[in-house]
Amino acid sequence: MSKQKLSFIFTLVFILSCSTQSEDNSIIYNFTDGLDGWSTGTSGKQLDSITWIDWAGEPLGCVKLDGSDFGTSDHQPNSWIYKEIILPDDVSTLSFITSAQNRIGANAELRVRLIDENQVSTVLIDWELANDGLDDEFDWLNKSVSISEFAGQTVTLFFEQGDNDIGNGEQRYIDKIEIK
């Protein structure tokens, strides 16, 4: 078998193993067994991190984005996940669920960006806070945004966590990313 054919087979198997294709041709990332092929990045500060956790999410398994500016927000992301995705020709919506650190006063922000095939960055959801949860409970928020203008393109999606002030309890959780 040629190297090119083996490379194609490996790529296809990798893509199929990292996402779920639903009956309606949606692409779904549930994070039930890990990061589902998403890459990670941080700004390099002391508390910046990305962690896959198996004890939260719907279903269980989600991504925790964490980071702190130690009381002086720089209005830049502390941690993020990103993935290059080929959007279907008939794509309309990006949806996901998100929660924040569940302590009173927790206030990590989340931004969602897309870089299109021309390397133009578009903010789909600008820095947004989630509700404070109760101790040991997650208040999952359903989020949805139109991405129809990017149909058929190869894009890179970013989910970015930012510390907007006190630097305490700045975790954001991401799960059930669906592209349909």
Of 5-19, 63-77, 109-123, the one with minimum mean pLDDT is 5-19
Question: What tokens were used for 136?
Answer: 């040991």
For the segment 62-84, the average pLDDT, to the nearest whole number, is 91
Comparing C-alpha atoms, which of 78, 37, 39 is closest to residue 167? Answer: 78
Indicate the SS3 state at residue 150.
Answer: helix
- The pLDDT, as a whole number, for residue 167 is 60
**What does CATH list as the number for 3-179?**
2.60.120.260
- The pLDDT, as a whole number, for residue 16 is 43
- The pLDDT, as a whole number, for residue 123 is 99
Q: What is the pLDDT of residues 134-177, one digit of tens each?
A: 566 788 899 999 999 999 999 999 999 998 766 666 889 999 99
Report the 10 Å Cβ neighbour count for 164: 14
